[in-house]
Amino acid sequence: MDNFLDLLRNDHHQFDQGKLEDHVGNEPFSLLSKWLREAIDKQVSEPNAMSISTIGLDGYPHSRIVYLKELLEEGIVFYTNYSSSKGNDIEVNPKVQALIFWSGLERQIRIIGNVEKVPEEMSDTYFQSRPWGSKIGAWASHQSKELESRKELEDRVHELALKYPNEVPRPPHWGGYLIKPIEIEFWQGRPSRLHDRIVFELNGSNWKIYRKNP
């Protein structure tokens, strides 16, 4: 079969990104925040989209994209339906991997960590900052459950719109998860596949920092 994907070979050398060591502190959050800012400044498409992998009840990893919404001192936050497939996976096994890829910057970040729900007030504040339609959507969507038809969903939206024409309370099953990293790897594309990989591994309360072969 003609392998048209061969055409995509990329030598990762468009940018001289400088030496990664120049920006590595003694904890990973400063670099994570710096890279996120750069992705936003350089107008990367969907700069805060990340893949979250959970371990499913079937033993397989399950991945999906969510938005990274907050960067805290202890980790990163995303919002979702706690009764979704990912929520059920996390309930049983709160270990996840987050993956961010910014193709325009030739950068990838992998975050392995333990998840916990954020305080309810934090979920309330974020929920109330969303547009009315998204708030209704959070009630209407029984995320990950089988849906009989598109109409079933639209009917629910209609009913909820009548019920909550103005103020919409946060559904109790909707809120934030905080991923507290135990390991973060920063990957930066360099020429000839000699990429940089800098790993921060939590060791007690300190971060062990080292390079990995590309």
Measured from the CB atom, is 82 or 200 closer to ligand FMN? 82
CA-CA-CA-CA dihedral for 101, 102, 106, 112, to nearest 10: -30
Is residue 59 left, alpha or beta, with left meaning phi > 0 and alpha meaning psi from -120 to 50? Answer: left
Residue 133 beta carbon to ligand FMN: minimum distance, rounded to whole angstroms: 15
Residue 152 beta carbon to ligand FMN: minimum distance, rounded to whole angstroms: 17
Residue 124 beta carbon to ligand FMN: minimum distance, rounded to whole angstroms: 17
Closest by Cα among 36, 92, 90 to 68: 36
Measured from the CB atom, is 81 or 188 closer to ligand FMN? 81
Which residues in the 145-204 window bind ligand FMN by CB under 6 A?
none
Which residues in the 40-79 window bind ligand FMN by CB under 6 A?
46, 49, 62, 64-67, 78-79
Helix axes 120-129, 132-140, angle to 10 degrees: 120
Measured from the CB atom, is 147 or 194 closer to ligand FMN? 147
Q: State which of residues 23, 24, 83, 85 lies at the interface with ligand FMN (CB under 6 A).
A: 85
Measured from the CB atom, is 177 or 187 closer to ligand FMN? 177
Closest by Cα among 37, 26, 68, 9 to 203: 26
Backbone phi, psi, residue 169, to 5° = -75, 155
Residue 58 beta carbon to ligand FMN: minimum distance, rounded to whole angstroms: 13
Residue 210 beta carbon to ligand FMN: minimum distance, rounded to whole angstroms: 32
| Euclidean distance between CA atoms 185 and 198, whole angstroms | 6
Using CA atoms, how far residue 149 sits from 11, 47, 155, in Å, is: 46, 32, 10
Give yes or no: 211 in active site.
no
Strands 95-102 and 174-188: unpaired
Give how many residues touch ligand FMN by CB under 6 A.
Answer: 16
**HEC secondary structure over 57-77:** CCCCEEEEEEECCEECCCCEE
| Residue 48 DSSP one-character state | T
Measured from the CB atom, is 79 or 200 closer to ligand FMN? 79
From 12-20, 34-42, 80-88, 114-122, span contacting ligand FMN (CB under 6 A):
80-88
Catalytic residue, chosen from 130, 150, 190, 193, is: 193
Residues that bind ligand FMN (CB under 6 A): 46, 49, 62, 64-67, 78-81, 84-86, 143-144
- Residues with active-site annotation: 193
